[in-house]
Structure 1
Amino acid sequence: MKQQSLRIIHCFRSPVGGVFRHIRDLAAMQKAAGHQVGAICELCEDGALEQAQFASLLPDLALGLHRIPISRKIGLSDIGAILATHKLLKQLEPDIMHGHGAKGGTYARLGCFLAREKRNQISRPLRFYSPHGGSLHFDATSLAGKVMFTAERWLENMTDGLIFVSAYEENTYRAKVGNPRCTYAVIRNGISKDEFEPVDLAADAADFLFTGMMRDLKGPDLFIRALAELNLAAKAGNRPPVTGTMVGDGPQKQQYQALAEQLGLSQHIRFYPAMPVREALALGRIFVLPSRAESLPYIALEVLAAERSVIATRVGGLAEIFGEDSNALSKPDATAIAAKMHEALTDPCGFYESMPDPLLLRSLFSRENMAAAVEQFYRSY
């Protein structure tokens, strides 16, 4: 592809979490490089955080923000959403259609399949797909997993390039879907230089902090159960209680609040709605990332850049951030997480020494390098 200004559309489902962060950063960097960018995403009731996020994204979207109904589950409503995507593509005439996550990737590729035309002997738009975990989290032996991975294999026929955000994601795709039959690249997430600054703690900051989507995949229940184990031990040893803060929203939040109360943590744990990460970091000293599955989470990079200790589960691409032998990594098990939390609480300085070097992180996970690599991959056609 010639070195011309590109018309780029990003398609994704939910306007929250790491996928939104990824698209927001790509859109900003792509606009700065002289491209026109647009986005297609879920039409839903936005909370205060989502409204603020969209406000920050809109100035970078010369091709507009287009909201269509997108259900989390597979159903007949997907047909209407694919047709809506197709209609938008005919109007916007992008050079690049980049789908993110299972739903975004499906709509982007099927919408392009319907709209695809020949122009100057080059087929447009080119279709790229980034799983961001998504369907790859399914169990390959389950019926749902078999359906998902069969669909992923079929959609490869409509894919010009796959972009994985971690080596783990590439390896999982190979194991569950098969060896890619189109061009692919591993381009890791990156954050801005401005984020490599410490965040001051609030006077009443808790000992431990969780922030993320309130659903089992992210392990909020593991955080609560680990905190309960620490408090049982503290009570038995006549030590002060251990406190926690949980920040985020999601379909199971009330369930986790009930679990905390059931385990006797009502006085030792606070729940807050979703907020920007650096605001949340003021509310807790040591960050816990208790996920059952991840790809390459931005939250780990953001917290480390703020010079905080992180306890993370050994899942997904987290070892690509922390190192295979990092003491920060734990099994996704409440008792194992509690042991790490106890270690970090009793020797905070020693535990922080096991964190990755911020200078190395800054060189390996740069937003500028990420965006440049994505554009180079686009232009390899």
Structure 2
Amino acid sequence: MHLTQPVDGGVARVVTDLVRAQLADGFDVTAVCPDSALTGHLRSLGAHVRHWRATRSPGASLVGEVRQLSGLLDEVRPDLLHAHSAKAGLAGRLAVRGRIPTVFQPHAWSFEAVDGPTAALALRWERWAARWAARVVCVSEAERATGVHAGITGRWTVVPNGIDPERFRPAAADTVRAGLAPLAGPRAQAPLAVCVGRLCRQKGQDVLLRAWNAVLRQVPDARLVLVGDGPDRDRLRAAAPGSVLFAGAVADAAPWYQAADLVVLPSRWEGMALAPLEAMACGRPVVVTDVDGARESLPRSFAAPCVVPPEDPRALAGAVAALLLDPPLRTSLGDRGRRHVLSLHDVRHTARAVADVYRDLLGTWPAATWARAYRAAEDAGADRTTQHVEPSEHRESIHS
């Protein structure tokens, strides 16, 4: 069973890719998430889909969300639960409490997204709930290190994110731009930077907009496209100059990468973002901020021209302008980036690594754990949602 909230952006793409690969490998897959475009997509792949009424953030609704999830677990009785991102990790571990193998995949830590008492509470929860995750799957070594340094005692496995190199592949920018109406016209040949991501504080588009005027002073005819939607849309629109285009949410981001001269992701925090991998698979150079997973997602030789400190508009503007003014370097970086992704970040490698985690866990768990847990609860007349069955043996902390 895959459990996810959110239902869009990179997390949804990771879940979709895993479900597709696991169905092809003969897994019986159930996906549990709020009703959305994602549910229809997963159902079209052949997964069983159950609707989970859950908000993106924790709050007063959590008790009801956990209760509903417990009912869904009663019905499906999965052999293993894979919970994606903070909210699903919170509700899923509360509902299961270790009765079956539970894989938690943070997709960036919740305590990095907030400040003050909320961050302290989120960190306290992650430290406590680690006991209910048979494995914590991190998408980068940096994400794992952040968890370790924060005092989270997990059984770790690092599985880098992957993308589909057949879907994200090079194409002639001129041809692609001709098919994207907002880019056609007399300025079709102007230098083009593209940022793909949810319009929210995490992705840092506000920092990019603060940097953009400095880019324009060096590359006056440059254009910027923000691809995506989110809670910061109106605020970003109000701050954007005329050379910035808002493309909104798109079903397929590949044409926007292919149309770009340069792809920018100025995130404040990440686990390992998909956008730079997708851009490199399309043969496009990237500029990213030096947050978790950023350096790991790029070839080592990319660090100097392509990695800048987070929340530094001046450094970001310098890197973007320098690459927009250097077509030969962009071509070289694009070619090397494509080869890098093909060798290390093919989604098929990712799916196989995750399947290996499942097999390792299921191979050490007692047979029919779920059935025995519920039989014991019924015999004791206890509440099903509070039983805890320990595995027959405890594995040592694993980092691969």
> Do both share a fold (TM > 0.5)?
yes
| Partner SS state of residue 360, structure 2 | coil
1:96-138 deviation line (CA, Å, top 9, x unaligned): 101011111112211213xx7xxxxxxx531110111041424
Structure showing the higher strand proportion among its residues: 1
* Structure 2 residue 274 is the aligned partner of structure 1 residue 298: yes
* Structure 2 residue 358 is the aligned partner of structure 1 residue 366: no
1:172: Cα distance to partner? Answer: 0.5
Distance in 2 between the 1:351 and 1:313 partners? 18
* Structure 2 residue 194 is the aligned partner of structure 1 residue 219: no
Tell me which moved more, 299-308 or 371-380.
371-380
Cα 1:109–1:220 change in 2 (3 A) is same
Kept in 1: contact 2:194–2:264 (CA 8 A): yes
Tell me which moved more, 68-77 or 192-201.
192-201
Which residue of the other structure, out of 4, 14, 31, is the alignment partner of 1:12?
4
Which residue of the other structure, out of 136, 154, 157, is the alignment partner of 1:162?
136
Which residue of the other structure, out of 280, 285, 304, is the alignment partner of 2:256?
280
1:152: Cα distance to partner? Answer: 1.0
Distance in 2 between the 1:107 and 1:377 partners? 22
1:339 is matched with which residue? 318
1:348: Cα distance to partner? Answer: 1.9
1:227: Cα distance to partner? Answer: 1.5
1:27-73 deviation line (CA, Å, top 9, x unaligned): 01111110111111134xx5xxxx3x5443213344x2222222233
1:144: Cα distance to partner? Answer: 1.4
1:282: Cα distance to partner? Answer: 4.7
1:191 is matched with which residue? 163
Cα 1:323–1:136 change in 2 (3 A) is farther
Distance in 2 between the 1:177 and 1:69 partners? 32
1:159-209 deviation line (CA, Å, top 9, x unaligned): 2111111101100001113332xx321111112241352134304356111
1:256-308 deviation line (CA, Å, top 9, x unaligned): 00011xxxx12x11111111211322553211111111111111111100001
2:32 is matched with which residue? 40
Distance in 2 between the 1:245 and 1:92 partners? 43
Aligned-partner residue type, residue 230 of structure 1: V
2:307 is matched with which residue? 329
Distance in 2 between the 1:313 and 1:55 partners? 34
Distance in 1 between the 2:223 and 2:360 partners? 51
Which residue of the other structure, out of 237, 247, 252, is the alignment partner of 2:227?
247
Cα 1:193–1:241 change in 2 (3 A) is closer
Distance in 2 between the 1:305 and 1:133 partners? 22
Distance in 1 between the 2:329 and 2:259 partners? 22
Distance in 2 between the 1:54 and 1:77 partners? 21
Q: Where does structure 1 lack aligned partners over 5 or more consecutive residues?
A: 1-8, 117-123
Kept in 2: contact 1:287–1:310 (CA 8 A): yes
1:175 is matched with which residue? 149
Distance in 1 between the 2:350 and 2:169 partners? 20
Distance in 2 between the 1:207 and 1:308 partners? 11
Structure 1 stretches (4+) deviating beyond 6 angstroms? none
| Partner SS state of residue 353, structure 1 | helix
| Partner SS state of residue 246, structure 2 | strand
Distance in 2 between the 1:379 and 1:312 partners? 35
Instruction: Name the TM-score, length of structure 2 as normaliser.
Output: 0.81
1:132 is matched with which residue? 107
